[in-house]
Structure 1
């Protein structure tokens, strides 16, 4: 029974039924009492009339005359009159022969008058002879204020019982019709009242199910109308607030998902509640696997876990640097701050991790670069200073010594000039200060032109060079940059290849790109040096590089020039067997 109108109607039906039953009993009892009072009064009046006609002397002298008089006064279906003496003997009776009647001294109404000395008495009892209830009233017969007998009047209550039964039937029908009509009206009224209430309940239920677009549509009046307006206002407010919450959540989700820094929310229990994609990459585990786990299990970093536990325990912000070794070795700038609720209780800590591994690596490279530049500049400057001081001390008077020293000073000056030029050139490339103007070029032609300029160095070391076939291969490139790329790679190959070695230049023409391979049979590069060969001033064989006049910036310049063409450079080398550089360049520049 879930319908509110049905509950109200049923309760109203039960209440109305009880009220109507109570009213029926009250009316029936009132009607019965009215009938009884009327009958009682009538019987007492009959008894009084009879007592007026009875001669007190005839009670003991002329019973036959008294009997005839009583019989003549009352016919059948009239109240029954019985005259009784003080001893209970029946002297006369309107319906029966007194001689055949038993003594009435034990009758209740008789005893009430004789023993109680009452002015009148009554009794209602069931008649075994007649089979229905009778009403008996009695009044005393007095002689000089002395009771000498009793006049009893009896009347059957059968008619009253029949009347009461008819009354009950009438009342039952009337009450039934009233109950039916009242129930029908109650149902209509309850439906009219409960329909908006049920609508309000339904809207409230939908609001609990997060359907904030639902509204109360029923037309009502009075307090229900005020309630419906309040519910609709509440629904609008909730809808507006939820839209704001969703919008803020989307903003927060967008920020978290696009942050470069890793963010992780730790509950007071030490379990992970939230991680963003950047944190997944840093830790090397997906969010589904991280959520709900202890931070020591997920991060696998004892140092980080110590900082988180400390922040939880001391409710303080912490900034420190942490090393992680899983899934790869990383240096993390760690910010940990407690998240405190409105009541001041801690809700957890927020951990923000910045991967500064590359920054630290670049700082190290920068430091090494400064040291290398200082070292590279120091050598020629020291030579220049030393030889010039020697000349000033008197050596310039010796022509041969002067010529030798000036030659060395010139060579060191040239070396210093090349070094400074390469540094400035590399700086301009890195800062994109040199304009890039690609044009259609024949790569094969550029390779041949570049090799021609290096022919003298090749001949000095008796190196054999193999070139690709002279079939034109056209790409979009800048001639000077492409030429410098090939030039630096061939120069490197010449430097690190022993005499009578070989160099091979090969070109792969693919659909959208080309691959230029420069392979030598030189000393090769150790595996541990391969990741660093494109760093500035990094040399595999420092002594040979300096002796050859190299600045240590050639491969760094090559890498930047290749990247300016939206290309890539790869290296494959084995120590003692040679090195192969592969330049990958797109055919079209967009």
Structure 2
């Protein structure tokens, strides 16, 4: 990586210097070209001021041209018609063609000064021409010098450009080396720390760097470490929950299966019980079968609610009618337990699966009855807050210890295992409630105090008033 950065940095620097050299060459060449034209103009003005137009001009310009600072310059004097009057390049002026149509002459006649670049057929070379009108006569003065374009300045500028590029390349190597060290060193530290990452010590302590981009990498690595740690904890927790679930499920199924097997073996044995005993055994087998069926149905319901892999039928449910129906179902159980049921239900309609809502209320109210005290009370309140449905089930029962309140919604979790064995049920009631609430995007809270009672509050979204 370091070599690649240095190589690319040098290439960029050299490329930049080459571009700068070309730009420098072009700028300087244009400036020198402009200065050359200005020098030619000044030479013509000096020549014009030095000439005596009443005397022969040929000898004058030959003498004066040697005093002007223009090497290899050719001076020409033209009349207003473009005919050559005098020329330092030849004595045979009579054979020279008329210059009236020349570009620089036309510009001089119109603007007072004119410039042109072209190939001279007379001396067989590329020339730069400057022409001005005389301030003392009607003549036109012209100067011409050999000119090959900007390339003629390259000979003078090339050494400076090459030295600049060489020095810049050397500086680029030194700077690139130092720069790459400041980048690669933190990366090496990050790589070393991540290579020595240990599961037993998952916290990453990464250094801050002077570069914001590298700090983004370190922050991302820290977040990744935290995510991995959290994910690992979740996997471990799920593994423990799953293990406990299978253990509890097998235990819950084993008890009725053992009973069914025992009764069946007696019925099939040589010992033939009387008709009343046979009927009692068959009733117990039926009861245990129903218990297993309920357990399996509860497990399947939780699984479907978790995976959401089945289609449900939703309908508009009038909560008052549903609550009234459930109270009728549970009233005999409450009376047997000596528990009084009190309800208050505001008119409300929720669009949901009716069996889900029935299971939710049956489990909450059923638990409030089961774990209550003799002569206890259960208060059920259903109301609306905004567009949310609020269900509150409050009892005067035995309460739930603080350390168990977080776990009561886990599958098969029982606060008092001794008491729970005496109470009918699968041990999945509150877990089903929690999964139903989550399925509809709601939430459930629990408040409890030992020997005083518990309050479960469910809040479900998207409800409308019953008109």
Instruction: Quote the offset at 1:574 in angstroms.
Output: 1.5
Partner of 1:358: 234
CA distance in structure 2 between the aligned counterparts of 1:395 and 1:523, rounded to whole angstroms: 46
Task: Say if 1:333 and 1:478 are closer, same or farther in 2 by CA, change over 3 A.
Answer: farther
Q: CA shift at 1:582, angstroms? A: 0.4
Q: 1:515 aligns with which of 377, 390, 393?
A: 390
Q: For 1:378, what is the secondary structure of its paired residue?
A: helix
Give the deviation of 1:514 after TM superposition. Answer: 2.4
- Matching of residue 384 in structure 1 with residue 287 in structure 2: no
| 1:335 CA drift (Å) | 13
Residues 103-122 of structure 1: CA deviation (Å, up to 9, x unaligned): xxxxxxxxxxxxxxxxxxxx
Equivalents in 2 of 1:541, 1:527: separation in Å? 13
Confirm whether residue 367 of structure 1 aligns to residue 243 of structure 2: yes
The structure 2 residue matched to 1:576, chosen from 440, 451, 454, is: 451
Deviations 1:392-448 (A, max 9, x none): 333433334333322222221111111111112221222213324444332222222
Rounded Cα–Cα distance in structure 1 between residues aligned with 2:335 and 2:68: 130
Contact 1:532 1:538 in 2 (8 A): yes
Aligned-partner Cα distance in 1 for 2:456–2:326: 17
CA distance in 2, matches of 1:536, 1:376: 12
Q: Is the contact between residue 305 and residue 436 of structure 2 (CA under 8 Å) also seen in structure 1? A: yes
- Take 1:548 and 1:406, find their aligned partners in 2: how far apart are those partners? 22
Question: Could you tell me which of 382, 392, 399 is aligned with 1:524?
Answer: 399
> Any residues of structure 2 matched to 1:373-412 within 5 Å, and which?
373-412=249-288
> Could you say which residue in structure 1 is the equivalent of 2:96?
none
- What does residue 426 of structure 2 align with? 551
Q: Is residue 415–residue 549 contact of structure 1 (8 Å, CA) maintained in 2?
A: no
Match of 1:586 in 2: 461
- The separation in 2 between residues aligned to 1:466 and 1:452, in whole angstroms, is 12
2:292 aligned with 1:413, yes or no? no
Q: Deviations over 1:560-581 (max 9, x none)?
A: 1111211111111112211111
Q: Which residue of 2 aligns with 1:425?
A: 301
Cα distance in structure 1, aligned partners of 2:315 and 2:277: 52
Paired residue for 2:336? 460
What is the rounded CA distance, in whole Å, between the counterparts of 1:551 and 1:372 in structure 2? Answer: 10
What TM-score results when the alignment is normalised by the length of structure 1?
A: 0.42
- Answer yes or no: is the 8 Å Cα contact 1:429–1:561 preserved in 2: yes
**Which residue in 2 is equivalent to 1:322?**
200
Q: Map Cα deviations across residues 131-152 of structure 1 (whole Å, 9 max, x no partner).
A: xxxxxxxxxxxxxxxxxxxxxx
Aligned residue for 1:528, secondary structure, equals: helix
Contact 2:412 2:427 in 1 (8 A): yes
Q: 8 Å contact 1:319–1:335 — kept in the other structure? A: no
Q: Do the aligned partners of 2:360 and 2:436 also contact (CA within 8 Å) in 1?
A: yes
Are the equivalent residues in 2 in contact too, given 1:321–1:334 (CA < 8 A)?
A: no
Matched, 1:491 2:369: no
Match of residue 562, structure 1, among 428, 437, 451: 437
The 3 A distance-change label for structure 1 pair 378 and 472 is same
C-alpha distance 220-508 of structure 1, shift in aligned 2 (>3 A): farther
Q: Does structure 2 retain, via aligned residues, the 8 Å contact 1:320–1:335? A: no
User: Structure 1 pair 403/364, CA: closer, same or farther in 2 (3 Å)?
Assistant: same
Mapped contact 1:443–1:475 kept (Cα < 8 A): yes
Contact in 2 for aligned 1:428/1:434 (Cα 8 Å):
yes
8 Å contact from structure 1 (residues 488, 558) kept in 2: yes
- The residue number in structure 2 matching 1:535 is 410
* Secondary structure of the structure 2 residue equivalent to 1:562: helix
Partner Cα separation in structure 2 for residue 388 and residue 374 of structure 1: 20
Displacement of 1:519 after TM fit? 0.7
Partners of 1:429 and 1:476 lie apart in 2 by 17
Deviates most, 475-484 or 357-366: 475-484
Pick closer, same or farther for the CA change 1:364–1:453 going to 2, 3 Å: same
Identify which of structures 1 and 2 has the higher relative contact order when contacts are C-alpha pairs closer than 8 Å and 6+ apart.
2
Looking at structure 2, the residues matched to 394 and 266 of structure 1 have their Cα atoms a distance apart, in angstroms, of: 85
Residues 392 and 467 of structure 1: CA distance in aligned 2, closer, same or farther (over 3 Å):
same
Contact 2:380 2:394 in 1 (8 A): yes
Larger of the two Rg values belongs to structure = 1
Residue ranges of structure 2 left out of the alignment (5+ in a row): 1-23, 25-66, 71-148, 173-184, 207-217
For the residues of structure 2 that align with 1:571 and 1:562, how far apart are their CA atoms? 13
Tell me the number of residue pairs that the alignment of Structure 1 and Structure 2 aligns.
Answer: 282
Query: Structure 1 residues 587 and 410, CA, compared in 2 at 3 Å: closer, same or farther?
Result: same
Supply the distance in 2 between the matched residues of 1:546 and 1:457 (Cα, whole angstroms).
Answer: 17
CA distance in 1, matches of 2:388, 2:252: 38
Q: Secondary structure at the match of 1:396?
A: coil
Give the deviation of 1:317 after TM superposition: 3.8
1-structure distance, mates of 2:439, 2:406: 20
CA contact (8 A) 1:445 1:472 kept: no
SS state at 2:405 partner: helix
Distance 1:319 1:377, change over 3 A: farther
How far the C-alpha of 1:555 sits from its partner, in A, is: 1.1
Structure 1 Cα separation of the partners of residues 443 and 337 of structure 2: 30
Listed as ranges, the gaps of 5+ residues in structure 1 are: 5-176, 182-218, 239-264, 274-307, 324-331, 337-347
Are the equivalent residues in 1 in contact too, given 2:312–2:353 (CA < 8 A)?
yes
CA contact (8 A) 2:256 2:288 kept: yes
SS in 1 for 2:327: helix
